[in-house]
Amino acid sequence: MEGNFTGKDVYDQHFAPKEYLKTYYSFSSGSSTEKDVLTFTLSKLHQVFITDGIKGDTLIDVGSGPTIYQFLSACESFREIIASDYTDQNREEMQRWLRKEPDAFDWSPVVKYVCELEGDREKWKEKEEKVRRAIRRTLKCDVTQANLFAPQMVPPATCVTTLYCLETACKDLATYRAAVKNIGSLVKPGGHLLLLSALQETFFMVGQHWFFCLYLEPEIVADAVREAGFDIVWSEMTKAHFTLSIADNHGGIYAVFAKKRSQA
C-alpha cells in the first residue's frame, strides 16, 4: 500500500478545501451517509466536553483541516484552542470563516445542530462568536515529526483531539504508531486524548483527486494509544460510513477517549 501513499506535495497541489467541505460537511436537512458520520462525531465531541465535562486552559487539535465543527463543544470548556494543519490552503480556509469573509463555508446548520444537543438551538450565533474568540492560533503541523509544530514549541495541553487525520498522513503502521506517540507528547500527564478514525479505509476523494488512507482496525488504534502512554477511558464504534464511491471506510468510525498516565 505504501506505493500508493499520497505525499505532502500532492496535498499542497491538489487538496481543495472548498470541494472537501462541500462533499463531507454539507449538513442538509435530509439524510446522507456523510451526515451520519458527522452526527456521530459531533455526539462524541459533545460527550467529552459537555457530558463528561473535560475542561482546561488549552486544547490542541491536530490535523484540523479547513473545519471548525470539532471546536463547537470544546469552546464551552477551553479558554484557548490551537488549531493546526499541514497545508496552507486548509489553514487559510479556516481563517476565512474566522474573519467572516463572504465566501467562507456556511457552518450554521452544523452549529445549530450542536446547539440543539446542548439544549438551545437559538444560541447558534453566540456559539459561532465563542468559537472565533477561542481559536487563538492556527499552526502548521506535521504528525510525522517528533515536534509537530517545529520550529515553534507548544507546551503540553490538558486535552488534544485528532479526527480523521492520522490514517491519511501515515504511509504504514510503524509511521502511524510513531505519529500517535508524537501527538501523545502534546498531552500533559493526567490529560486526555480524543482520537477518531475511519476504519478499513484505503482512499478518499476530493473532487476528482484520489488520496491514500492507511487501513486500520480498532485493535491497531487502541494498541497505538496504549503504547503512547494512555489508558483508554472509553471507546465506541459506529457502522456509519461515507458514500463508498468517495471514501471506502467499510469498518465505520472508531472513537477512542483516553487519559495519559501520570509520570512516575
Pairing of strands 203-206, 253-260: unpaired
Mean pLDDT, 10 residues at a time, the chain of 264 residues? 80 97 86 92 98 97 98 98 98 98 97 97 97 98 97 96 98 98 98 98 96 98 98 97 96 98 76
How far is 192 from 232, CA to CA, in rounded Å? 10
Half-sphere exposure of 255 (CA within 13 A, CB side): 22
User: Rounded to 5 degrees, what are φ and ψ at 77?
Assistant: -120, -15
Residues in the chain: 264
Q: 86-130: per-residue pLDDT in tens?
A: 999 999 999 999 999 999 999 999 999 999 999 999 999 999 999
**Looking at residue 30, what is its pLDDT?**
66
- Phi first, then psi: give them for residue 231, nearest 5 degrees: -105, 130
